[in-house]
Amino acid sequence: MVNSTEASYFILTAYSDTGFFKYLYFLIILALYICIIGANVLLIVVICVNRSLHEPMYLFLCSLFVNELYGSTGLFPFLLVQILSDIHTVSAPLCFLQIVCIYSYASIQFSNLAVMSYDRYLAICNPLQYNTRMTSNRVVFLIAVSWLYPFIAIWIMVSLTLSLQLCGNIINKVYCDNFSIVKLACSDTTVNNVYGIIITFFLIMFPVSLTLISYMRILRVCFSGSKQTRQKALSTCTPHLASLLNVSFGSCFEVLQNRFDMKYVPNMLRIVLSLYWLSCQPLFTPVLYGLKMSKICIICKRLLYGEV
């Protein structure tokens, strides 16, 4: 019986011997990471340096792009090292740090999308009250809450995992996962399992529900409004809903994979789907908003190509 605080490392068994192809995988992951950094940094700079974009909607977007950089940095450098390594081990402190990064990234993503949906609800359904209700102080408060409460919840989760006694150190994944470590426990995990269900509700289901309710109200106003109102709503809400569906799909698969036996799903498919929401979402988000938000698209073209 080994206490989790004494375990010096974990072994990641989802990696397979790919021979020469590991260099190809390394280049693909590296190229994807560079594209993610470039796209998100570009949009953050565009929003920060252009005063015309210093509006609540774009500030919330900036928070979203910062979170994409944060989440991808918690995963991609680790993957690059592991792909080239022959021994797929990770130290216990680094493993728990990665758990905090990945889980908080996903939670902040959902809370950011919920805040953005509330902002669009006010702008479209209550335009006359928007400027008085969405003040600069309110924007700062909403961004702070969307980052702080996921961090606190995830740190509590990791603290509970650290208190467990473990019977092994093998994780069948390509990155560190909290539930995989909990399954290694020799001690009682009732508190961990109950807390896991609670934070799944508050960090995923609750913000998703708020987001969907906001968009249902927006759609109701759109159908009863003018053509111009419908076009405005679609141009601003479509990227939000697409991001929500994309990240929700990956998160739901990850929750189902952790909570239920999915051995009938091929191992390679499980790996691809578990990486999808962590690797594609950080690139999908800036590309989607950069193309769909006309104001951002125009400024990006001007910055990159000198177009007016």
Distance between CA atoms of residues 211 and 253, nearest Å: 20
User: What integer pLDDT is reported at residue 2 of this predicted model?
Assistant: 43
Tens of each residue's pLDDT in the chain, 308 residues: 444 445 688 999 888 766 778 888 899 999 999 999 999 998 898 888 888 888 898 999 999 999 999 999 999 999 999 988 888 899 999 999 999 999 999 999 999 999 999 998 898 888 888 989 999 999 999 999 999 999 999 999 999 999 988 888 888 888 999 988 998 998 889 999 999 989 989 999 999 999 999 988 888 877 776 677 667 667 667 777 888 888 888 777 777 776 666 666 677 777 777 788 788 888 888 888 876 676 777 777 776 666 54
User: What integer pLDDT is reported at residue 71 of this predicted model?
Assistant: 93
Distance between CA atoms of residues 67 and 69, nearest Å: 5
User: What integer pLDDT is reported at residue 87 of this predicted model?
Assistant: 84
pTM of the predicted model, to two decimals?
Answer: 0.89
Distance between CA atoms of residues 140 and 191, nearest Å: 34
What angle (nearest 5°) sits at the alpha carbon of residue 273, between those of residues 35 and 200?
Answer: 100
CA nearest neighbour of 90 among 6, 182, 170, 165: 170
Q: Does domain 8-305 have CATH number 2.170.190.11?
A: no
Distance between CA atoms of residues 238 and 236, nearest Å: 6
166 DSSP β-pair partners: 2, 185
Q: Which amino acid is at 139?
A: V
